[in-house]
Amino acid sequence: MKKIRNVFKRIKNKKQSFTLIEMAIVLFIISLLMLLILPNLNNQRKKAENTQAEAMVSVIQTQVDLYENDNDDKNVTYSELLSKKYLTEKQIKKAQEFGIKINGSNVSK
C-alpha cells in the first residue's frame, strides 16, 4: 500500500513540461512562418518605394507645369522651383534621392 501511495505522490508532484521533440517542432513551425513572411515584407517595401517615387514624379511635373504657365519659361530647375516656392527643400531632397531629373519641361526618373 505504501508503494502505491508513493507512486501516486510522485505522479501528483511531477510537473508538466514540454519534451525536446515538442520544442523542436514549435521552433520548426516558427522558422517556416518567418521564411514565408520576411521575403514578402521586402517586396512590399520595394513596391511602396516605387509608388512613392511615381507620386513624386507626378507632383514635380505638376509644379513644373504651373511654373511654366506663370513664368513662360521652358527651362525649369529645382532652384527656380524652390526660390518661387513651388517646391519645398524636403521635396527637392526626396526627388534627388529618387533620381528624378527635370529636362526642360519634362520630369523623368
pLDDT of res. 11: 66
How far apart (Å, rounded) are the C-alpha atoms in residues 66 and 68?
5
How far apart (Å, rounded) are the C-alpha atoms in residues 43 and 49?
10
76-104 average pLDDT score: 91
pLDDT band at 85 (very low <50, low <70, confident <90, very high): very high
H or E stretch covering 107: strand 106-108
Residue 68 pLDDT > 70, yes or no?
A: yes
pLDDT of res. 78: 92
Q: 20-71 vs 89-98: helix axis angle to the nearest 10?
A: 120
55-63 average pLDDT score: 94
pLDDT band at 12 (very low <50, low <70, confident <90, very high): low
pTM score, two decimals? 0.64
